[in-house]
Structure 1
Amino acid sequence: MKNIILKTAMIITIIMMSNNLNAQIAKAEIRATGLTCSMCSNAINKQLKNLPEVQEVDTDLNTNTFIVTLKEGNTINPNVFKESVEKAGFFIGSLILTTNSENVLNDKSFVLIEDKKISTNEEVQIQILDKGYVTDKEFKKLAKKYKNIETYLSNTKDVFHIKVVN
């Protein structure tokens, strides 16, 4: 009986740890495309603020950039940002996430496609390079550059090809 309880506790701990590896994003910097006025910005701002994981949204109207600060312990997926911006009627031109390097190294949904050394347990900024997370023009360039990475062109929804930007 003790062994069963111990094994169950270990399994629960492993499941909880693996769930915590999914994302744990501290901040997202979203540069949106297609905005023409402050009402456009308000539409995106409203969509982002409605997300339960969001603590705060700061907007820079000059660069059409939204800095989204997330609540601690969140398990938000980068798809949520894309869906929110598209729901407002716009597109993402770039998405940079601030997270802990452990999340990047251990989360199987992140595929590091540019060779940059990452130290363990440090804050890093990563850019999502997949279609829908960069401009169409940028994606065409990246598709040529990363044509030898089999998963890059497959456009899988829950696999994110990233590069470290800091």
Structure 2
Amino acid sequence: MTLHATLDAGRLVLTQGRLTLREQLPAESALLADGKPGGLTWIDGVPGDGTMSAASMTVAAAAAGVYRPGWGLFAIQRTQDLTALGGVGFHGPPDRGAVEIGYDLCVSARGGGWATDAARAVCQWALSQPEVVVVLATTEPGNAPSQAVLERVGFERVANRGDLWSYELTTMPV
């Protein structure tokens, strides 16, 4: 399925079938970090803990002057009604060819393949950027659902990073 990348009011929007990923700029991320809806309609009323944490990372990057548009948090939305289901994004801009992703779904959105679709879309977009050669991800050893997401996207498990299992993706499976 084709991934469409557009700009909407200065934010990157990635659309692929049922999925829309809408970049959350630092101002919206500040609201999400505080557990507020940030102008979005959330399936469970508010963003999940992981999305709030990721929003805090975007706010911190902006405060430190290292925020780069396109390399932060995206709201995971259903294309049909733009209901926000969770968050996906990057831990920061590319560094020596590598970016790291993370994702989080609201409780009511789990089990429907949304995290897999969102992770696949951000990886596809990232690997199409000339400064990215590898996408990284980590999970806690007991987080089987997250590990399954990474495996479905095509990540391969590599050496552990401390207490976390590490994964890498260098090409998108056909």
TM-score using structure 1 length: 0.32
> Relative contact order, CA 8 A, sep 6+: which one is greater?
1
- Structure with the bigger percentage of helix: 1
**Bigger Cα Rg:** 1
